[in-house]
Structure 1
Amino acid sequence: MFGDPNWFRPKTVGWGLKPITWQGWGYAATWIGVITVPFLLMLSWHMPTQSLVWLAVMSGGLFYDVRDIRKQIQRAQFQAAAPPPVAADKDVLYIGDSDSGTRPLATRNYSLKLK
């Protein structure tokens, strides 16, 4: 949503993210401010129901964003660990491969040739 996966790393204990750049710390401080300031203002205006709704909705948004960032981090780690794709003509094993070259294979309906 709003955060960049390069600003964070997964926490070693528990669920969540740990900021590793100043942008990550700014992102975390902004979320804290966006959740806390309106919540406290609504409480001071004697609007407890609205303040709890605000807290629930914004906490849900934060949860969704953190989950999305964690998925992007895991996807990047998986792609980095995956082996590179194999070229079509290189390092391919054909079943029935023989050193004597190609030999014809015929059935009643088809005439096939092995590579």
Structure 2
Amino acid sequence: MFGKPEWFKPKTFGWGLTPVTWQGWVYTLIWLIALTLPFNLLLWVRGAPEAVIWLVAGIAFLCFDVYLILKAMHRKEEEKEVFMIMDEEETRRDEIKTGKFEMRVAGTTQQQS
């Protein structure tokens, strides 16, 4: 992944990203130059087949990078939604006790003291 999730926000409609920082805009500009400049040079020097191959491969890499950035954004959103009901002193992660309930993670066995 070349871009960082902090540089973008997901598009409101459709699939993709919208730059929100100057780094995101630079990233977008670099991709634009990396796709169009070689495409035009290949069209001028070699012809259409190589230029089209470059453009298709470049767009595929760009889509993959956007996919990785969106996946990283989604992972960060999931981490923010975690809510723990536990005292700071408690070390066991499979058992939670409240005033009225004692809960434990399904599949764990209750240990005898």
Report TM bin, short chain. 0.7 to 0.9
2:47 alignment partner AA: M
Root mean square deviation of aligned Cα? 2.2
Match of 1:73 in 2: 73
CA contact (8 A) 2:7 2:23 kept: yes
Match of 1:7 in 2: 7
1:84 alignment partner AA: M
Cα separation, 2, equivalents of 1:94 and 1:69: 37
Percent sequence identity over aligned pairs:
35
5+ long unaligned stretches in structure 1: 96-112
TM-score (norm 2): 0.78
5+ long unaligned stretches in structure 2: 105-110
1:43 alignment partner AA: L
Cα separation, 2, equivalents of 1:65 and 1:78: 20
SS at match of 2:96: coil
Number of residue-to-residue matches in the alignment: 98
TM-score (norm 1): 0.76
Cα separation, 1, equivalents of 2:10 and 2:46: 38
Offset at residue 82 of structure 1 (A):
1.6
Offset at residue 114 of structure 1 (A):
4.5
Match of 1:54 in 2: 54
Q: Describe the shift of the 1:29–1:94 C-alpha distance in structure 2 as closer, same or farther (beyond 3 A).
A: closer
Cα separation, 1, equivalents of 2:36 and 2:42: 10
Cα separation, 2, equivalents of 1:84 and 1:41: 57
Structural mapping, 1:13-92, within 5 Å = 13-84=13-84, 86=86, 87=90, 88=92, 91-92=96-97
Cα separation, 1, equivalents of 2:85 and 2:38: 51
1:14 alignment partner AA: G
Cα separation, 2, equivalents of 1:43 and 1:6: 36
